[in-house]
Structure 1
Amino acid sequence: MKTDWKKLALAVAIPLAVGGLSALLTMDNMVMFDAVKKPPLAPPKWLFPAAWTVLYVLMGIASYSVFTADAPSGKKRASLIVYAISLAFNFLWSIIFFNLDNYLLAFVWLCTLWLLIVIATVQFFGIRRTAGWLMLPYILWVSFAGYLNYGIYLLN
């Protein structure tokens, strides 16, 4: 299969844009993150944008891989819809956590996001294994984010 570079670029740009807009809308409130008590294993603040950038690129490549797979269009569409919903949940989590300072709601929201990511990943695996593998770091990072989110809720 030949790579369609325009479609790949768009597929990668979508999650990067979602993450970028989320960061833009929450950056004024991220100073609070320095002030809150954090659980053990909390990474330095600089690691978050670096990790998310890598994850967004991997997610975009995974979605492109599904979009271009030789699979039934209904199956691809269903998995990409779940993926798109997970992007929306990802976007809104930052607003709930940073702008609203509602750590409990953010944790519940993140648990729902995690479930959506797992569903999308399973669906991606069913369409193209590589796409599923590319989503696994996202699941792991959001699992860790759940630990951090819940820890911040408990400590603050």
Structure 2
Amino acid sequence: FVCPTEIIAFSERADDFRKINCEVIAASTDSHFTHLAWINTSRKQGGLGPMNIPILSDKSHRIARDYGVLNEETGVPFRGLFIVDDKQALRQITVNDLPVGRSVDETLRLVQAFQYTDKYGEVCPANWQPGAKTIKPDTKAAQEYFVDAN
């Protein structure tokens, strides 16, 4: 029941991710036939409707297993979210238990934070938002942030 809400939420925000040079890809262990049926089912009936992101079929469970989110006992993957940068480095992993969905806003914030730190060499404090102060990773320079923040 949670899956379509997440896929729709990320699909609806796909342009926000593209504006910051980020692509979103969904994956599920259902077949591509199931995905097609899901897309052709209206959202009012629990379907996905039109999508702005691709949905990969991981019928073999290889992706889920490789990323460490497959529950081998049940054969059902947990809700995994992975941020991979333009150098193919895994920057962030979120794994939720099945009853709770992931946050699109938090994912967008994390991508922006990683991009900021890569570009400027500064670090982002807790709850950082684009445009907020960052910390220079130097003991003396960091004092400016701590004086202002406290």
Structure 1 or 2: more helix by fraction: 1
TM-score calculated relative to the size of structure 2: 0.28
TM-score calculated relative to the size of structure 1: 0.28
Larger radius of gyration: 2
Structure 1 or 2: more strand by fraction: 2
